[in-house]
Structure 1
Amino acid sequence: MGSIVELKNVSKVIKGRKIIDNLSFNVEAGEVFGFLGPNGAGKTTTIRMIVGLINISAGDILISGKSITKEFEKAVQHVGAIVENPEMYKFLSGYDNLVHYARMTRGVSKEKINEVVELVGLTDRIRDKVKTYSLGMRQRLGLAQSLLHDPKVLILDEPTNGLDPAGIREIRDHLRMLARNRGMAVIVSSHLLSEMEMMCDRIGIIQQGKLVDVQLVKDFVNNTEKLYEVEIDRSDEALSVVREYMPGIEVSKSAAGIEIPVTKEQIPALVKLLSGQDFSIYGIKEVSKTLEDRFLEVTNEKGEL
């Protein structure tokens, strides 16, 4: 459906230090884009530039074709965002908080407020004071606030921070629904990589201010040799045998025996080798790599965390 967010050679220099270095990527309508990186990599700085909280030192960011640097108001009107924690007036009800924020944008009706309240699942508690809300409810109220003006882009920095598993799942389901049903471009930054794997269509990895990679989540996770676990007796001896007869393959111990990255076609030769050395093989299974595994591999390849 086309790019909604485009970063073009974006850099940020603070006190003579280049925090963001020539960053370029795009986010499509209808997708959830995960923005990953170690602490201090520049994720929040990038998000702050996208929403206009800090200036761009070089390059440009386009929101629905409008430049953040040249047409800020026209660009930012398409953006809804929660950067770090949503801040609310705790002595007011959830509904009154939304009414207050609605006054900042023209054309937000009571019907629209009720729509977003129902969308985020707060209908039963929206008239209660925010001070009685759980962290998950406050996150959902923040999400409602960011959706009041029907943005084309939703940007969330650590949206599941501090939530219990049920709250995390709720937020994940809401974001998937917004992207799928409303054609919204959703950008999410989070440390919970298992959640990002379930939530996102694509991920971009940033490290030391530079873009390391952008891929579909399924391609990023699967773009490796298959890892197989061999359940076997005398695993220390088996490890030595495989290393001797299959040099160059990084075999390692596992809880049940050994783990080895090979192709499916190499498995018969591996079994023949081990059985020929009188090892008892109890089973062989494929071990799937997670987004967390691949993230740690990639970031360690590009420099220490």
Structure 2
Amino acid sequence: MNEVRAVNAVDVTKTYGGLTAVDAVTVQVDQGEVYGVLGPNGAGKTTFLRMLFGLIRPDSGTLEIFGRTWDRDGVRALDGVAGFIESPKFYPYLTGRRNLQLLAGLDGGGAATRIDEVLDVVDLTGRDRDKVGGYSFGMRQRLGVAASLLRDPRLLVLDEPANGLDPAGIRDMRALIARLADSGLTVLLSSHDMTEVEQICDNVTIMRAGTVAYHGTIADLRERAPAPGHHLVTTDDAAALTLAAGRPGLQVTPAAEGGLTVRGGPPHLDAYVADLIAAGVALRGLSAAQTPLESLFFMLTESTPEAAPAAAELTGTRR
């Protein structure tokens, strides 16, 4: 008999008036894996997680958590589930330990006996008697994970856990999630950062405007990723765009920060640069701007209709 999935959401849809926030999305998370729901802001990631926690109800589709549903099992659908949506909140005038004690009292059971353990897991031992108002943002995020672990969950759900953290905080959060996964805990997280998901997730769903742009493993995503993107600065970007038109194996678009973004393999890029120079367009800068996976992510979530067919061909995704 197959093991029941931690999350089995099939064709889940949520609309708000004329806006379809989540459109027939399927996400299936096996027990013991780290699963990422990836997409830019507004893609529908948080709406999906809100449905998972029962904060809002889907208009159609089915959503099971360890085989339980909200309609059939009510709040028991969240047995063995913990986490947070957006940033966790605490009483800033109380210590980290006291905040956890209050939450443990609400949960009951053996939650209070796990306070020392969860503080150690998130590396807050020694700072637990400091007021939360004096914590860094990263420390408050880790305290949120500690509060979730008080429930001794089988599934941990984290909404953008590294969002807003400095590089050291991002490193610490990734290391924490890796340790939790190694312990056998199932982790479902949302993110808009391809690098974050690549480093810690086994499988991923990439969302775009409420729909699924890709389902699959990180390994398969790496195999399908195109050449890395480069940032190109020239003396005449308009002429450089004209020269790029119609070239096979090369995509050149204006970059938000100025200059151009060039995607293509080394032979195509080399030939393009040589032609620019021959045409009298001088280069002022050429640097790697995106990893191959970042390039694929932007192609999959690109809002222009021209990008969709190319992305679907790269991933084999049916729309």
TM range (shorter): 0.7 to 0.9
Which stretch shifts more, 132-141 or 188-197? 188-197
Structure 1 residue aligned with 2:125? 123
Measured against aligned partners, the alpha-carbon deviations of 1:219-277 in whole angstroms (never above 9, x if no partner) come to 21330455699xxxxxxxxx9xx98xx96332769xxxxx784599x9xxx9xxx9xxx
Partner amino acid, structure 1, of 2:219: K
Tell me how far 1:88 sits from its aligned partner. Answer: 0.4
Structure 1 residue aligned with 2:91? 89
8 A contact 2:229–2:291 mirrored in 1: no
Structure 1 unmatched runs, 5+ = 230-238, 254-258, 275-285
Partner amino acid, structure 2, of 1:39: N
Tell me how far 1:56 sits from its aligned partner. Answer: 1.8
Partner amino acid, structure 1, of 2:40: P
1:134 lines up with 2:136 in the alignment: yes
Which stretch shifts more, 165-174 or 292-301? 292-301
Structure 2 residue aligned with 1:213? 214
Aligned counterparts, 1:1-305, within 5 A: 3-179=5-181, 181-226=182-227, 248-250=248-250, 261=264, 289-300=291-302, 303=305
C-alpha change, 1:301 and 1:84, in structure 2 (3 Å) is closer
Return the index of the structure with the highest Cα Rg: 1
Give TM-score, length-normalised by structure 2.
0.76
C-alpha change, 1:247 and 1:110, in structure 2 (3 Å) is closer
**Percent identity of equivalent pairs:** 37
C-alpha change, 1:58 and 1:302, in structure 2 (3 Å) is farther
Tell me how far 1:69 sits from its aligned partner. Answer: 2.5
Structure 1 residue aligned with 2:281? none
SS in 1 for 2:29: strand
Structure 1 residue aligned with 2:284? none
8 A contact 2:12–2:24 mirrored in 1: yes
C-alpha change, 1:19 and 1:127, in structure 2 (3 Å) is same
8 A contact 1:6–1:26 mirrored in 2: yes
Partner amino acid, structure 2, of 1:66: R
Partner amino acid, structure 1, of 2:153: P
Taking the aligned partners of 2:139 and 2:114, their CA distance within structure 1 comes to: 19
Taking the aligned partners of 1:304 and 1:94, their CA distance within structure 2 comes to: 50
Taking the aligned partners of 2:173 and 2:73, their CA distance within structure 1 comes to: 32
C-alpha change, 1:51 and 1:303, in structure 2 (3 Å) is farther
Partner amino acid, structure 1, of 2:6: I
C-alpha change, 1:58 and 1:261, in structure 2 (3 Å) is same
Runs of 4 or more above 4 Å deviation? 225-229, 259-264, 301-305
Taking the aligned partners of 2:216 and 2:303, their CA distance within structure 1 comes to: 17
Taking the aligned partners of 1:228 and 1:127, their CA distance within structure 2 comes to: 47
Structure 2 unmatched runs, 5+ = 231-239, 254-261, 276-287, 308-319
Measured against aligned partners, the alpha-carbon deviations of 1:18-71 in whole angstroms (never above 9, x if no partner) come to 321111121122222111122222111111000111112112211111112321
* Count of equivalent residues: 290
SS in 2 for 1:150: coil
Give TM-score, length-normalised by structure 1.
0.79
Taking the aligned partners of 2:108 and 2:186, their CA distance within structure 1 comes to: 22
8 A contact 2:142–2:173 mirrored in 1: yes
C-alpha change, 1:123 and 1:193, in structure 2 (3 Å) is same
SS in 1 for 2:302: helix
Which stretch shifts more, 212-221 or 88-97? 212-221
Tell me how far 1:145 sits from its aligned partner. Answer: 0.2
8 A contact 1:63–1:78 mirrored in 2: no
8 A contact 2:36–2:197 mirrored in 1: yes
Partner amino acid, structure 2, of 1:199: I
